[in-house]
Amino acid sequence: MNRAAGKYLILLAAFVTSFATFAQVKNDEVLMTIAGKKIQVGEFMNIYQKNNVKGENIDKKSLEEYLDLFINFKLKVQQAEELGLDTLTSFRNELNGYREQLAKPYFTDEATLDRLMHEAYERQKTDLRASHIFFKLKPSPEPDDTLAAYKKAMMVKEKLVQGASFESMALEFSEDPSAKDREANQQHPFLRGNKGDLGYFTVFDMVYPFENGAYLTETGSVSNPVRSDYGYHLIRITERRPALGKVTVAHIFVSIPKNATPDDSIRLQKRIDSIYTKLTQGVPFEDLVKTCSDDKGSAAKGGVLPSFGVNRMVPEFIGAIYTLNNPGDFSKPTVTPYGWHIIKLVERKGQKPFDEEKQELKQKIMKDNRGDQTKQVVIARIKSENGVTESPDAKKDFYRVVTDSIFFGKWKVAQAGELSNMIFKVGNRTFLQSDFAEYLEKTQRKQEKQKIESYVDRLYASFLDESILKYEDSQLEKEYPEFKALMTEYRDGILLFDLTDQKVWSKAVKDTLGLKDFYQKNKNNYMWETRLDASIYTVNDPGAVQRVKNFIKSGLSDTDLLKEINTDSVDILKIESNKFLKKENRIIDSIAWIPGFSGDIKSSGGTMFIYVRKVLKPQPKELNEARGLITAEYQNYLEKEWIKALRTKYPVVVNKEVFAKIK
């Protein structure tokens, strides 16, 4: 269990009881006061219901026991507040961290999320192979630049419709560097261009707009321009296949040198064909990997490569895997830009049922830019529920006060001068021009220059969205009673955990004098039963048995006895010494518990006998013999004494009439 869960459950663990239907009683009625602080029925019932064991009856005694435990809990929280634990920076940071996690569901539109999860799950069943022609745009491009790129994409699309080769258009127009051949340099060797071919991919492998455009385009067709954060794409789908899933394969690899001649290529192909022939004749794959594969890293593991998905290998390699149906199947020799491969399927993991993949899909969506869809739905809802009033003229004032210095990260709030009018209003919260000016200064960074108006408009839109979400966040406790109750539980749980650690858990471990004093006063509660102080001797040489007994009679210690008898490489004597309890050792239980030697016992290890030194009467355990148990009971003692002091310090008044209604 993690620390967060532990602290939260502290609050609940103290109240394990059953639940019965409450009588009609209002949540805002005062059930009790502790140190003058009123505690309402709703808070009591909320915690009580979390321990609900449905279907079981409850009696007066158990409910009163629960009330008693609840009071103890609130007393501890009261002291934690009095000590100022709730004002510590560490406490606030921890609680804010939990609040951030608890608030997330309120900023996610479940219907949109569910639609995206099912969409991703269905797309996950199909792998695509696609090519694209890319028209690059700068980050935050100007409208004119965006329009120019779109027109260029439409011009190329028209050429494709008229019959132009997609590959030739990619070579001529695509701004994706991988489309064209790239000469060798210090960073990379010569790289042959892919003419727009992106290979295979599936859901989450590409940015969402590209993925959307690809899955919505028919096989063999070319999409209209698809806009992503990077620019426009013309996408052609060349293949659709049932999903490969996650695979583990092994391969035998024959490398093709960078400057291979035609004769080299013929020789290497003959080599891979020879290996393939041996495989078809029954030579084990692993044997050929060891002797023939140029991939020495995987050869040491039988040729096995780490598991991967469809987009992690070049398309020729993936295409060969599609032909393998069962583990153990191997491909015909397959050439890739790196060399020749014979690929053996080791394992394939397909798609699981939706319910088993749901959580992982959700996590991927929320990390992916498609997750913004849920946020936009939430923002629209907040706008509708609270109302947003904007002042366009107040935004336009920034067109004249924001300068190019902002693109060098040097713009200052002071340059906004006296701008202090309302820029927009969300619910009952008014945001001023000065708030936006601070946002501009905080978010500025070095970047390419752009039109001031476009930059201000874009930052204003972000500021508006963020402000709407922050406003809603500030209202959660007011709008959602269940959220307020949960935050109270987490808050009190953290306080209780920290103070209990100080007063009980850590104190019991660190307070050695207190622990010893507690032990001395209660040591008769930790008694040993009758024990036998004895040693079990096993001698594997019959001629040495009497010699061993003679040494024991002479008073030689077990340690010295072992040194005396076990002088060669083979151990003649083994000794097990202990203070034995009944039912702890079957051999000890089988002899009479009287001092002296037992009779000889034949065993698989030789001759066995027991020497009883003393029968130990019941006696208290030493502190170090039962430290764990004694420490736990000392903690219980500290807890009781602490509660006793709290009951004395803080007055508790229970409204018996209200409590009677609950019962």
Q: Closest Cα partner for 204 from 124, 129, 306, 134?
A: 124
Q: Closest Cα partner for 245 from 304, 325, 299, 302?
A: 325
Q: Would you state the pLDDT for residue 652?
A: 95
pLDDT band per the 50, 70, 90 thresholds, residue 47: confident
Q: Would you state the pLDDT for residue 199?
A: 95
Q: Which domain holds residue 218?
A: 125-242
Domain boundary among 242, 269, 293: 242
Q: Would you state the pLDDT for residue 19?
A: 36
The rounded distance, in Å, linking the Cα atoms of 358 and 335 is 38
**Burial (CB count within 10 angstroms: exposed 0-12, middle 13-18, buried 19+), residue 135:** buried
pLDDT band per the 50, 70, 90 thresholds, residue 571: confident
In a domain, residue 7? The reply is no
The arithmetic mean of pLDDT across residues 212-237, rounded, is 97
The rounded distance, in Å, linking the Cα atoms of 9 and 4 is 9
Going by C-beta distance under 8 Å and a sequence separation of 6 or more, which residues neighbour residue 467?
424, 426, 431, 435
Please tell me whether residues 411 and 438 are part of one structural domain.
yes
Q: Would you state the pLDDT for residue 295?
A: 95
Work out how many domains the chain is built from and give that number: 4
Phi, psi of 603 (to 5 degrees): -140, 170
**Positive or negative: CA dihedral 152, 158, 160, 163:** negative
Under 8 Å between Cβ of 540 and 606: yes
In a domain, residue 51? The reply is no
Tokens of 274: 């020879």
pLDDT band per the 50, 70, 90 thresholds, residue 510: very high
Q: Would you state the pLDDT for residue 526?
A: 96
pLDDT digits (tens, 9 = 90+) for 430-447: 999 999 999 999 999 999
Please tell me whether residues 273 and 199 are part of one structural domain.
no
What type of residue is 373?
A: Q
Q: Would you state the pLDDT for residue 240?
A: 97
Going by C-beta distance under 8 Å and a sequence separation of 6 or more, which residues neighbour residue 12?
47, 50, 51
pLDDT digits (tens, 9 = 90+) for 302-356: 999 999 999 999 999 999 999 999 999 999 999 998 899 999 999 999 999 999 9
CA distances from 391 to 413, 462, 561 (A): 20, 16, 97
Q: Which of 309 and 257 is assigned the larger pLDDT? A: 309
The arithmetic mean of pLDDT across residues 56-62, rounded, is 61
In a domain, residue 47? The reply is no
In a domain, residue 571? The reply is yes
At 451, is the secondary structure helix, strand, or coil? coil
pLDDT band per the 50, 70, 90 thresholds, residue 18: very low
Please tell me whether residues 214 and 259 are part of one structural domain.
no
pLDDT digits (tens, 9 = 90+) for 373-416: 999 999 999 999 999 999 999 999 999 999 999 999 999 999 99
Residue 299 has pLDDT above 80, yes or no: yes
In a domain, residue 523? The reply is no
Domain boundary among 290, 324, 349: 349
Cα angle for residues 576, 582, 585 (degrees, 5° grid) = 35
CA-based radius of gyration for the chain: 39
Q: Closest Cα partner for 530 from 621, 596, 619?
A: 619
Please tell me whether residues 281 and 307 are part of one structural domain.
yes
Domain boundary among 319, 349, 379: 349
| Cross-strand bridge partners of residue 603 | 606
Residue 70 has pLDDT above 80, yes or no: yes
**Burial (CB count within 10 angstroms: exposed 0-12, middle 13-18, buried 19+), residue 221:** exposed
Please tell me whether residues 338 and 433 are part of one structural domain.
no
Q: Closest Cα partner for 248 from 318, 304, 329, 290?
A: 304
The rounded distance, in Å, linking the Cα atoms of 481 and 487 is 10
Please tell me whether residues 229 and 262 are part of one structural domain.
no
The arithmetic mean of pLDDT across residues 101-116, rounded, is 95
In a domain, residue 119? The reply is no
Other CB atoms within 10 Å distance of the CB of residue 448: 9
CATH number of domain containing 611: 3.10.50
Q: Would you state the pLDDT for residue 58?
A: 54
Please tell me whether residues 225 and 272 are part of one structural domain.
no
Q: Would you state the pLDDT for residue 319?
A: 95
In a domain, residue 295? The reply is yes
Under 8 Å between Cβ of 507 and 20: no
Complete DSSP assignment for 112-152: HHHHHHHHHHHHTTEEEEEEEEEEE--SS--HHHHHHHHHH
In a domain, residue 274? The reply is yes
Residue 14 has pLDDT above 70, yes or no: no
Please tell me whether residues 314 and 252 are part of one structural domain.
yes
CATH number of domain containing 136: 3.10.50.40
Residue 140 has pLDDT above 90, yes or no: no
What type of residue is 200?
A: Y
**DSSP classification of residue 200:** E
Residue 20 has pLDDT above 80, yes or no: no
Please tell me whether residues 232 and 251 are part of one structural domain.
no
Residue 1 has pLDDT above 50, yes or no: no
pLDDT digits (tens, 9 = 90+) for 178-215: 999 988 777 766 778 999 999 999 999 999 999 999 99
Q: Which residue has the tokens 């009497």?
A: 546
Residue 661 has pLDDT above 90, yes or no: no
At 49, is the secondary structure helix, strand, or coil? helix
Q: Closest Cα partner for 141 from 227, 206, 234, 233?
A: 227
Please tell me whether residues 261 and 323 are part of one structural domain.
yes
Q: Would you state the pLDDT for residue 184?
A: 75
Q: Closest Cα partner for 343 from 322, 364, 362?
A: 322
Going by C-beta distance under 8 Å and a sequence separation of 6 or more, which residues neighbour residue 62?
17, 18
Please tell me whether residues 200 and 291 are part of one structural domain.
no
Q: Which of 240 and 47 is assigned the larger pLDDT? A: 240
Please tell me whether residues 231 and 252 are part of one structural domain.
no
pLDDT band per the 50, 70, 90 thresholds, residue 56: low
The rounded distance, in Å, linking the Cα atoms of 22 and 188 is 74
